[in-house]
Amino acid sequence: MKIDNIKKDFPIFKEKINGKNLVYLDSANSSQKPKVVIDSISKFYESEYSNVGRSVHTLAVKATNKFEETRDLVKKFINAQFREEIVFTKGATEAINLVANCFGEKFIKEGDEIILTELEHHSNYVPWHYLRNKKKAVIKFARLNDDLEIKADEIQKLITNKTKIIALTHISNVTGGISPIKEIIDLARSKNIPVLIDGTQGAPHIKLDMQSLDCDFYAISCHKIYGPNGLGILYGKKKWLDQFPPYQGGGGMINEVKKDVVTFAESPIKFEAGTMQTAEVVAFSESLKLINKIGIEKINEHENKVLNYGIQELKKNNSVKIIGNPKKRASVISFTIKGIHPHDIATILDDEGVAIRAGHHCCQILHDKIGVSATARASIGLYNDKKDIDALIGSIEKCKKVFKL
């Protein structure tokens, strides 16, 4: 499947924004949805709807089978060893909260240490902050270098005999920097320390292989991978999930319930309490099929061409400052324009049909480090091309004219 004309498969690009063609450069926030995903949700509700894992009638069996087929597709997509290592959640945020709660409840005690980095999205800090308060644990932040990169030796400096887990992002949603996660995982493995990877920006752009990577946990946000909202995936090594207590209680995740005792289902079902997002799980299979048809390597190659072109063009503008200079980078360019607030940049760009994000991108610790409260961010998906970058550059020139720069 060719990527050059992929926009035709995404209905949103037929829409006009302020009378202009939509240029969507906000995929790090949330990606647009292909028609196959939209149609799958509609079809499921129209002719296939039922809850999963409960009833034995035809619709229920069919829905359950489709639900579990998606689990198998995810297993293959990330090359997990066991299908039981794939847990469906409400999002990557819940996936990280699940680990922080379950791992923390069983393995963290007062004075134990958790290593994060200064790059982290709030979703990979706040759950550990809750755990710190609850268990009187200690959080250490690995420092970034001047290019806003994280290096393995900065992690190594923080490791002590009290280090119980390391949690870090795969790709920064501010700088686009690709963390040396394999090097850090190998370091942690040599010291028997588990590692959680926040893969919300990694999964849409980089080929994943959990068996080769050897991390203990990997969190995925499906709405950033051209899939539905309200759905995430936690990959967790079976040895951990089998030890964890359930994250939530309710229907579906039990084995037997008596007045004086409750026993639980095996992983991953014990982590999927209540009525699951069945239509969304079923539809997500179409997202994965689309990516597989194109090839994640081809997507990565295409996006890197667009990304590098964008950086090259933005660097020509003396008023623009690109945030960070990581040697390995993917999909994201955050920037400021001297004399213009990022929210004003985003508003003027929107007048031109160009959609970007402005703000702290849920990374206030990083923004505090660089000494600004907000940045503008253009982020790239498989449907973007060099023409979109040209539209971005043209709109930035309009910003400068409006502010007489």
Which residues are identified as catalytic? 362
Residue 225 structure tokens: 């991978």
| Whether 367 contacts 360, CB under 8 Å | yes
Residue 76 structure tokens: 């293959």
3 state DSSP class of 81: coil
Distance between CA atoms of residues 48 and 210, nearest Å: 33
Distance between CA atoms of residues 217 and 196, nearest Å: 5
Asked whether the bond before 204 is cis by omega within 30 degrees of 0, the reply is no
| Whether 401 contacts 34, CB under 8 Å | no
User: What is the chain's alpha carbon radius of gyration, rounded to the nearest angstrom?
Assistant: 22
Amino acid at 398: K
| Whether 82 contacts 130, CB under 8 Å | no
Torsion angle in degrees (nearest 10) through CA of 252, 253, 254, 255 = 90
Helices 342-351 and 386-402 cross at an angle (nearest 10°) of: 110
Q: What are phi and psi of 164, to 5 degrees?
A: -110, -25
| Whether 360 contacts 29, CB under 8 Å | no
| Whether 342 contacts 336, CB under 8 Å | yes
Q: Count how many residues are written for the chain.
A: 405
User: In the block, which residue shows the tokens 């991108």?
Assistant: 361
Residue 296 structure tokens: 């994640």
Please give the distance of CA 251 from its chain centroid, rounded to a whole number: 28
